Amino acid sequence: MTAKDLKDCHKRIKSNIHRTPVMTSRLLNTMSGADLFFKCENFQRMGAFKMRGAMNAILQLSDQQKSKGVVTHSSGNFAQALSLAAQNLGITAYIVMPSNAPKVKKEAVKGYGGHIIECPPTQKDRESTAIRVQLEKGATYIHPSNQLEVILGQGTAALELLEDYPDLEYIFAPVGGGGLIAGTALAAYFYGKNCTIIGGEPFEVDDAYRALKSGKLEMNETTHTIADGLRMPLGDVNFPIIKKYVSEIIRVEEKEIIDAMQLIWERMKIIIEPSCAVPFAALLRKKERFKNKKIGIILSGGNVDLSNLPF
């Protein structure tokens, strides 16, 4: 993968995504002691950065593949992203979702034109159902985070951020399935000036933190975190990139996530989802180390259930 691949990816998806704004806050700068630049992917189409990767993956399919549609299994933002990206390009998206997925998530997918295929709520059933759809419909499987096209797509958020602020010294991003942090790290490697990448991860699902220590993929025993977008473990495609280009992962407590989320809601007046607050929480946890630094923070998404808030 080269710097040109990333630029080409950005050119490819540009007209189908928003160039999201970068926001600053005097007050949060004072609180953190650093100069913060928030890349607002909560304002991205369908409310999260996932739109970038989904769009890039679909746009590279052959006409033959496009005619048969795409399939993924996800009950989160990627389900919506793939649905909307597919709808925009006039192709079919099959979304495998566990039968117990929240109604609001199902409605969102339907709202973006996705075809939901329900399965029993186990990882094994999700995978086997997705394979069945590939076989029966000829649809192409797109992974939410562990696929190069998706990783590159997610990296365009940091690419835009670095175009706007080329001299950032750090970029913080959340670590879930690993697509965003891997793409961010590539963008900073190709286009940053000594820009260090730091991941934020909940203690409750710290497989990436442990994987960087052990040098091999790790699993999460449980996934009891409010950051529902970060429950997936890393994959074999993004892990080598993360190992090479991510400098460190800072873990945070659940309370720190909620506090950081509330700070951003109250002070910046924008809506972010819990997963999205994790990198800012990580920065606040270690703020003495980042005094006076110029720091980009990827605010990954803003899809929350307003009737079920943690504060």
* Interface with a second copy (CB under 8 A): 21, 42-43, 47, 262, 265-266, 268-272, 302, 306-307, 309, 311
Nearer to a second copy, 15 or 311 (CB): 311
Angle between the N-to-C axes of helices 3-13 and 148-164, in degrees from 0 to 180, rounded to the nearest 10: 90
User: Are 116 and 95 in contact, with CB atoms under 8 Å apart?
Assistant: yes
Nearer to a second copy, 176 or 302 (CB): 302
Nearer to a second copy, 89 or 237 (CB): 89
Hey, is 92 helix, strand or coil? coil
Closest approach, Cβ 104 to a second copy, in A, equals 10
Nearer to a second copy, 199 or 302 (CB): 302
User: What H or E segment, with its residue span, contains residue 226?
Assistant: none
What span, in angstroms and rounded, lies between the C-alpha atoms of 119 and 15? 35
* 126-130: Cβ within 8 A, 24+ apart: 126/73, 126/96, 126/98, 127/73, 129/73, 129/96, 130/71, 130/72, 130/73, 130/96
Nearer to a second copy, 117 or 268 (CB): 268
Nearer to a second copy, 55 or 188 (CB): 55
Residue 283 is classified by DSSP as: H
Closest approach, Cβ 265 to a second copy, in A, equals 6
Closest approach, Cβ 34 to a second copy, in A, equals 20
Hey, is 129 helix, strand or coil? helix
Closest approach, Cβ 259 to a second copy, in A, equals 12
Closest approach, Cβ 173 to a second copy, in A, equals 18
Nearest to 259 by CA among 287, 284, 223: 284
Token pair of 238 as six digits: 């993004």
If 0-12 CB within 10 Å is exposed, 13-18 middle and 19+ buried, where does residue 88 land?
middle
If 0-12 CB within 10 Å is exposed, 13-18 middle and 19+ buried, where does residue 224 land?
exposed
Closest approach, Cβ 94 to a second copy, in A, equals 24
Nearer to a second copy, 134 or 262 (CB): 262
Other Cβ atoms closer than 10 A to 113: 15
Closest approach, Cβ 131 to a second copy, in A, equals 34
